[in-house]
Amino acid sequence: EATLDLAERRRIRSAIRELQRQELERDEETLASKRFRPERSGHRQDDKENWPQSHCLEEEQQAALAALSERLEAITSVEELTKLLRAAGEYEERKLIRAAIRKLRAEEIEGEAL
């Protein structure tokens, strides 16, 4: 705010963008680690009768989320991601899509700045 030097302002803006990009990457890593965190063993003990069925469903859901994550990496249009977001029914799917949208928008902003 206090500098009149345009080169210094550019350096400051690029440093801010870099910090935002790093924060976004950390958030995505945190989400990924939370998404694939194993269940607590106490819950399985309480529900021994239904565990095989619920375990299979959980594995299927994780496989579907991993496949969706790979698909999202290939999409480069915010409009396409928005359509997917509106069609998604599961919370975890919407969360992944929103993270992909944020990542694309950050890349667009970074590309415009360069």
Domain residue extents for the chain? 62-113
* Predicted local distance difference test score (pLDDT) of residue 36: 62
With contact defined as beta carbons under 8 Å apart, do 35 and 65 qualify?
yes
Q: What is the pTM of this model?
A: 0.48
With contact defined as beta carbons under 8 Å apart, do 74 and 51 qualify?
no
Instruction: Report the distance separating Cα 15 and Cα 3, nearest Å.
Output: 15
SS3 75: coil
Summarised one tens digit per residue, pLDDT across range 79-91 is 998 998 898 888 8
Q: Residue 61 contacts by C-beta under 8 Å, 6 or more apart in sequence? A: 90, 92
pLDDT exceeds cutoff 70 at 16:
yes
